Amino acid sequence: MKIIKITDQVSIKRSIEAGTAQQTATVKTIISDVRQRGDGAIREYTEKLDHVQLDSFSITKKEIEEAYNQVDSQFVSIVKEAAENIRSFHEKQLRPSWMTTEENGTILGQKITALDSVGVYVPGGTAAYPSSVLMNVIPAKVAGVKRIVMVSPPDGKGNLPATVLVAAMEAGVKEIYKVGGAQAIAALAYGTESIAPVDKITGPGNIYVALAKREVYGDVAIDMIAGPSEIAILADETARADEIAADLLSQAEHDTRACSVLVTTSMKLAEAVAQEVEKQLTVLPRKEIASQSIADYGAIYVAESTDEAVETINQLAPEHLEIMTENAMELLGKIRHAGAIFIGRYSSEPVGDYFAGPNHVLPTNGTARFSSPLNVDDFQKKSSVIIYSKKALEDHGKKIAEFARNEGLEAHARAVEIRLRGSN
Amino acid sequence: MKIIKITDQVSIKRSIEAGTAQQTATVKTIISDVRQRGDGAIREYTEKLDHVQLDSFSITKKEIEEAYNQVDSQFVSIVKEAAENIRSFHEKQLRPSWMTTEENGTILGQKITALDSVGVYVPGGTAAYPSSVLMNVIPAKVAGVKRIVMVSPPDGKGNLPATVLVAAMEAGVKEIYKVGGAQAIAALAYGTESIAPVDKITGPGNIYVALAKREVYGDVAIDMIAGPSEIAILADETARADEIAADLLSQAEHDTRACSVLVTTSMKLAEAVAQEVEKQLTVLPRKEIASQSIADYGAIYVAESTDEAVETINQLAPEHLEIMTENAMELLGKIRHAGAIFIGRYSSEPVGDYFAGPNHVLPTNGTARFSSPLNVDDFQKKSSVIIYSKKALEDHGKKIAEFARNEGLEAHARAVEIRLRGSN
């Protein structure tokens, strides 16, 4: 793993898939096809891309029962406990509607309302990620969304992974379709005969899913366009090299394009971590992916001071940040940009991936500068409430009319003045 | 104004400018040009599109002084009072960071941090909208954003409107550039020699500005792609036709593509409002714009029951909603989708445009289904905080490792287990 002394500005190399013109064109074709021909188009694309013929896309009660039979009961109970932790954390994000009252009769407020419907995309392919189902569905459920739809591409036999179905049930999903890719995003955005449209689409996916989400953005809301996973670890000489190495590798094993970075004030630690990474890599099942990722996107930055190290973290704005320093809590206030912050030796990043409760859907690619972990606010919206009394309008109406006239909007001024005249 | 009896699903005709392929290509060229050549490109586009040669884009202290000299002092004091109301409302949206503690030592939390920097676009052209400056800047300021940049296209003499500059000062902007169009959005997103980049761009603009915001979305955050202004009024026979007509026209005068709709249970009111609209139109300065807008996008829907009327409102998800019915407060809980809700006879919509305090930047085009008025949350982001103790990891580590292995991520499991082994 390369060790780099921080000189000035640090930028980590990140891999963003923008999609080729060909891929974008393909996605546009699929979306317009699904808009025009609905279920028929879905069926064709599923046959062509997922290599399976489906009459109905709906998951049946029987398929759910079979899923519970297939999954180890101990795993089900871990999923239940994780779901409960996630629910409990996200419930604390709930906010009440509020209002203020004034003596002249004015009432102003903010009304919070859940979205009517949300679609959650769950990627298919080689691995099954029940944790992703929990993390996307539970905040929507806690927010009060009445209709939560899950879509995921079927395997060659027309099935979804049992653990994914179990997680969906435990999270409270009641509507599941075996549809994937850009065609699933199009169905969620615009609806088909068998799939009613939703107001927002969340969840990760491959480049076609990402491009399709970008395409429908505006007609429906989307969560984000996620990039490869990232971790930055801020550590000093009090941290253990073997634990840091293990955490770096836990990101690296996700994807050859994942990004794992250590920022430290200790050259001794830097060297020890570099050695440990090599050592642990040799015995890792996914060592090919992880070693490619470490070679291409891994780095150890050595800073001259803690302040410089913290500033480097803020420049990186990492998805995951671990702080393993003597005075970790003191640094928390200085961290401006990070999706999730794990503090101390025992807060290894996988704790947050599965179990602790905070969301694992986090802003990647430096977007922690302006984005948040997926949370309850993402599934609610606000409406302003304005109640002016006769007295309030008498007090302020002339000023409002003058402001309107200054902007050249006479009808605005008159709408106020007609009340002032007519109010007796 | 056409009167339509509600039969089944109601959809209002809305005008969305998607931009032509030509416009999209132009915007892409401008953005890539600004990224490559910085200030030089800005200078060229300003000369070409705004017809003025500028050496420096910065607004000077002297220009600010001149603006205050030009603007009527009574108007300045109205701007100050409006700014204070807006500030006061948005301060109530502020939320604290929070944490939870458990007996086993676990601490979970959510840390709220302001964005570092925000760019506010203020459109140029024939009219000056100081209210738009207040509504975009003040929430950012309240959120704690340190650097707020305003950009706006200069007129043919290289100036910005005096009222816009005064509003910017009263809102607390310290950095203003005379740059407009797609070139301004590119400068804000990627930076030039004289304009440092920002993390988020807000504010309305023409189709080129909208396309440019869509183009840079992801690299920076944006507020929304706003469509033409809309009002829906829900009224019964207790409401006054002249006041309703005045409010409909206050939307209609904005833009020929603005949308003004009345939904009522009273055919008598429907007819009276249609007549009043015609009458008031004849004496309106912007009657050409307003009558075109009413003809193309105006409608009066007559519902059979209050419930049907409310459901129609929810289907429309209007930007502005006025409720003028006998039992208006009772209906508030049934309204699921609306940007801002004005209740009662004296809450004419312009009250909210300028003065009351809630934001006038609101979701248009039905996006109130999933979007909110511009608010303090838009200028802050959250970071999750996870602190696991030794005890917490001992309690839950095995379950976390099992979840990771179930998803095929061995390095995740090992990152947890290395602590369990090494924790003595």
Type of residue numbered A289: I
- Domain boundary among the residues B314, B339, B356 is at B356
B275 and B405 both lie in a single domain: no
Least confident of A93-97, A385-389, B204-208, B353-357: B204-208
Within 10 A of B283 (CB to CB), how many other CB atoms are there?
Answer: 9
Q: Looking at the structure, do residues A259 and A199 belong to the same domain, yes or no?
A: no
CATH of the domain at B185: 3.40.50.1980
| pLDDT given at position A424 | 44
User: Does B380 fall in a domain?
Assistant: no
Q: Are residues A207 and A233 located together in one domain of the fold?
A: no
* A196 and A248 both lie in a single domain: no
Residue contact B78–A106, C-beta within 8 A: no
Q: Annotate B142-163 with DSSP letters as a single string.
A: HHT-SEEEEE----TTS---HH
CB contact under 8 A, A339 and B243: no
Supply angle C-alpha B228, B2, B305, rounded to 5.
95
Say if residue B167 is in the same domain as residue B272.
Answer: no
Model confidence band, residue B15 (pLDDT cutoffs 50, 70, 90): low
pLDDT of residue B6: 86
In a domain, A363, yes or no: no
Q: What's the confidence (pLDDT) of residue A12?
A: 67
pLDDT digits (tens, 9 = 90+) for B240-256: 999 999 999 999 999 89
Residue B212 lies in a domain: yes
In a domain, A34, yes or no: yes
Contacts of B108 in chain A (CB under 8 A): 89, 356-358
Residue B412 lies in a domain: yes
Q: How far is CA A237 from CA A38, A262, A299, B73, in A?
A: 60, 13, 18, 62
**DSSP code string of B165-222:** HHHHHHHT--EEE---HHHHHHHHHH--SSS---SEEE----HHHHHHHHHHBTTBEE
DSSP string, A139-174: HHHHHT-SEEEEE----TTS---HHHHHHHHHHT--
Nearest to B400 among A79, A354, A402 (CB): A354
Asked whether the predicted pLDDT for residue B109 surpasses 70, the reply is: yes
Q: Sorting pLDDT into bands at 50, 70 and 90, what band is B8?
A: low
A295 belongs to a structural domain:
yes
Is residue A294 domain-shared with residue A326, that is, in the same domain?
Answer: yes
Question: Are residues A80 and A149 located together in one domain of the fold?
Answer: yes
Angle (CA) A267-A270-A274 rounded to 5° is 145
Tokens of A155: 């395997």
Distance CA B142, CA B144 (A): 5
DSSP-derived 3-state class of residue A268: helix
Q: What ipTM goes with this model?
A: 0.94
Residues of B in contact with A395 (CB under 8 A): none
pLDDT at B139: 98
The mean per-residue pLDDT over the stretch B197-201 comes to 97
State whether A273 and A211 are in the same domain: no
Domain-ending residue, one of B203, B222, B241? B222
Examine residue B383 and state whether it is found in any structural domain, yes or no.
Answer: no
* Local confidence band at B424 (pLDDT 50, 70, 90 cut-offs): very low
Residues A100 and A203 in one domain: yes
The residue among B328, B123, B106, B100 whose CA lies nearest residue B210 is B123
Residues 313-372 (A) with a CB less than 8 A from some CB of B: 332, 335-359, 362-363, 367-372
Asked if the structure places residue B363 within a domain, the reply is no
Residue A224's Cα: distance from chain center in Å? 6
Q: State the average pLDDT over residues B143-168.
A: 96
Average pLDDT for chain B:
94
Verify that A237 and A283 share a domain, yes or no.
yes
What's the structural domain count of chain B?
A: 3
A29 phi and psi angles, rounded to 5 deg: -60, -45
Domain boundary among A191, A222, A253: A222
For chain A, which ranges sit under pLDDT 50? 423-424
Closest CA to A301 of A264, A331, A269: A264
SS3 A274: helix
To the question of whether residue B320 is assigned a binding role by annotation, the answer is: yes
Looking at residue A421, what is its pLDDT?
A: 84
Length of chain B: 424
Distance of CA A331 to the CA centre of its chain: 25
* Same domain assignment for residues A9 and A25: no
Chain B neighbours among A 104-143 (CB < 8 Å)?
A: 106, 108, 110-111, 113, 115-116, 126-131
Crossing angle between the packed helical segments B130-143 and B73-91, to the nearest 10 degrees? 40
Range of the domain at A342: 3-13+228-356
Q: Give the residue, B175 or A128, on which the prediction is more confident.
A: B175
Mean pLDDT for B147-175 is 96
User: Is pLDDT above 90 for B38?
Assistant: yes
**A33 and A119 inside one domain:** yes
